[in-house]
Chains A and B, each alone.
Chain A
Amino acid sequence: MTAPATSRPAGGPARRLRRPRTVTGRRPGSLAVLVITTLLVLVPFLWMLSLAFTPEEAAFGSARLIPSHPTLDNFERAWSDGALGRAMVNSLIVTLIAVVTNCVLAVAAGYAFALLPFRGSRVLFYTLVSTVAVPVSVTLIPLFLMAKTFPLTGGNDITGVGGTGLLNTLGGVVLPYLIMPMNIFLAKQFFDGFDGDMAEAARIDGASELRIFRQVYLPLAKPLVAVVAIFTFTGVWDDFLWPLVVTTSHDTQTVQLALTRFLGSGNVQYGALMAAAVLVTLPVLAVFLFNQRHFISGLTEGSTKG
């Protein structure tokens, strides 16, 4: 079930069709497609932005994208009670821990599954990845019990009895995110694109496996690490059900929980909700912007990849 390495490209037709265009040359047509798609994709978000600046009583009142009386009240209300700020700090701590563990351990594991296979590694790989296909509804309570009986935390003894373990702690929140199996899968697919010859060459020179990983392959895997960082950050930042059950106080709430404060049943505060939602996307957007620079096109780089 693994992807075979690619075969050499078959040559095109024998006759020259025309002189190749410069690599960076863009046809106006493709740029137009990109611009139009981007604008379409942005429409719902622009409405959110518009609602965030619209006075509460006028929400959804007019079909205008630019609010007639823009106001910052919603942002003030969203931020005022401090719950959102506190939640952002909590979410940042949890996401950063998860980003580090995934970028280091999951990437290393994926590398080994692709290029350093061992006896039983395929079975292990499929077992780890297949856990993602089990709906979280049924693993939630078992995981909750494990967090509660985590040894030597929250008043527990070595056998995990006596206290509340990791419940209502940031350590408890981060548990299921420490390694996301999909990141191992992603890393394996990425390294599947390489072959073992570079490692062979380095082995002949007597380099250790760790060193081969760090100095030969990791530099080529910048886009991979960037994607793992982005996806882990986004995934943890957006997750809801686990933080919902594992936290009980403001001190450990995450951002998605803080947003529910504006969802009063039959009394949604649209303006404040949108303002809070906009504020909450900013850190993720920053992480994305920072990381996407690693997608510097291979077409422009002098170095080649193989």
Chain B
Amino acid sequence: MTSSPTATEAVLESGRTGRAPRRARRRRGRLTGLWFVLPAAAIVVWFTLVPVFYGLGLSFTQYSPLGRTGPRIIGFDNYVRLAGDADFRQAIGVTVRYTVQVLPVLVVLALLLAVLANKPFRGVGLFRSALYLPHIVSLTAVSMVWLWIYSRDGMVNELLDLVGLDPQRWLHEPGSALTAVSAMRVWKALGSNMVLLLAGLQAIPRHLYEAARMDGANAWQQFRYVTLPGLRPMLVYVVTMDIIYLSQSFAELFVLTQGGPLGETTTANYLIYNEAFQHNELGSASAMAFVLFALIIGFSFVSLRALTGRKS
């Protein structure tokens, strides 16, 4: 590194400036970024984007993967049919409800744990690993444990019994099934959210905390005026990631409730999976998928506006 120490030091001292980086675009190297992006972009375009457009094209056709004749173009028929499909409407509602009730709990809990597990002490790695464990354990296997936890004589009802309450049929009553699955989902996703926020905490310069303390800020004020603003880019990522993944939930519902009772846990992606692989209708499955896609993009956009719009 041959940069003059003074220039670099000055930069390091200055911390973040309020300017968005893209405004500091240089004449020189206008296309340098393209070379950095090209290898990754080429791979994504080829192995992800092309199949996506393929799927988009399929949504205007009727196509059974078992068929010998290829897709038959039917224009917007799939979309028109979806507009009047009560089951799909219900599934979109379930998807939105599930996302909305898991997301805030997940992010707030993960943030709390990340702050607590960010301070170094002996054994902090073990705590972090323990909290990350649910994320890596096989869903199929652990769902059997959760089925048992929620069962009639399971752990939750045992605890209720201790305080004198009647047992509940957590996964099988229309009123509670989605919430019961949500609890498992929070448990499963907590670790990954925490790890991301931990990484975000690392990027906050220490001298900002020192400056805040010099000004006499207490712990809460430091969190409010240093940690939260510094975490914002990572929070944006975490919330977007959660929305994208939560809106496509399928696996945990498949193993815990099979979409029941009364379709109360049938998410849009559950229907899409069934339509594609049980009913062999890849065309209408694709149409459902792109309606869901539009919903996810819209949902992400609105939440990001809310997250980044408020300047502190």
Contacts and interface: CB of A to CB of B under 8 A. Distances in A.
Contacts of A131: 44, 48-49, 52
Contacts of B201: 297-298
B88 interface: no
A270 B119 CA distance: 39
Contact of B137 (A5, A128, A226, A281): A281
A292 interface: yes
Nearest to B57: A142
A137 B285 contact: yes
A288 B129 contact: yes
Contacts of A134: 52, 55, 289-290, 293
Interface stretch (B26-34, B162-170, B172-180): B26-34
A8 B225 CA distance: 9
Interface in B32-65: 32-37, 39-41, 43-45, 47-52, 54-55, 58-59, 65
Contact of A181 (B28, B32, B48, B300): B48
Contacts of A48: 137, 141-142, 145
A136 B203 CA distance: 33
B17 A1 contact: no
A23 to B, nearest CB: 8
Nearest to A102: B40
Interface in A95-128: 101, 105-106, 108-109, 111-119, 121, 124, 127-128
B43 to A, nearest CB: 4
B131 to A, nearest CB: 6
B135 to A, nearest CB: 6
A103 B133 CA distance: 22
B237 A185 contact: yes
A88 B237 CA distance: 31
B208 A26 contact: no
* A: contact size bracket: 35 or more
Contacts of B155: 43, 63
B42 to A, nearest CB: 9
A216 B11 CA distance: 12
Question: Which of B50, B52, B251 has the most chain A CB atoms inside 10 A of its CB?
Answer: B52
A11 B217 CA distance: 7
Nearest to B213: A20
Nearest to B34: A118
Interface of A is mostly: helix
A280 B312 contact: no
A30 interface: yes
A11 B17 CA distance: 16
A201 B140 contact: no
B73 interface: no
A136 B43 CA distance: 17
B119 A195 contact: no
Nearest to B225: A9
Contacts of B58: 138, 142
A12 interface: yes
A273 B141 contact: yes
Given A135-B289, A175-B47, A284-B136, A8 B18 contact: yes
A133 B53 CA distance: 13
Nearest to B268: A135
B216 A12 contact: yes
Nearest to A15: B216
Nearest to B58: A138
Given A135-B269, A142-B50, A193-B16, A234 B140 contact: no
Interface stretch (B79-87, B99-107, B190-198, B256-264): B190-198
Contacts of B69: none
A207 B20 CA distance: 23
A226 to B, nearest CB: 7
Nearest to B63: A141
Nearest to B241: A182
Interface in B230-280: 230, 232-234, 236-237, 240-241, 244, 247-248, 250-251, 269, 272-273, 276-277
A179 B20 CA distance: 27
A45 B312 contact: no
Given A17-B216, A141-B65, A292-B125, A260 B269 contact: no
A34 B127 contact: yes
A304 to B, nearest CB: 5
Contacts of B72: none
Interface in A254-272: 256, 259-260, 263, 268, 270
B48 A176 contact: yes
Interface of B: 1-4, 7-8, 10-22, 24-26, 28-37, 39-41, 43-45, 47-52, 54-55, 58-59, 65, 109, 112-113, 116-121, 125, 127-142, 144-146, 148-149, 153, 155, 158, 187, 190-192, 195-196, 198-209, 211-213, 215-218, 221-222, 225-226, 229-230, 232-234, 236-237, 240-241, 244, 247-248, 250-251, 269, 272-273, 276-277, 282, 285-286, 289-290, 292-293, 296-297, 300-301, 304-305, 307-308, 311-312
11 contacts: A14-B215, A44-B146, A47-B148, A112-B33, A115-B33, A117-B22, A117-B33, A193-B230, A193-B234, A216-B3, A295-B198
Given A5-B18, A234-B135, A306-B16, 17 more contacts: A3-B307, A26-B121, A112-B37, A127-B49, A135-B292, A137-B277, A139-B54, A205-B7, A206-B2, A231-B192, A285-B129, A285-B136, A292-B195, A295-B118, A295-B198, A297-B119, A297-B201
Shortest beta-carbon contacts, A-B, top 6: A12-B217, A116-B33, A112-B36, A201-B7, A277-B141, A142-B54
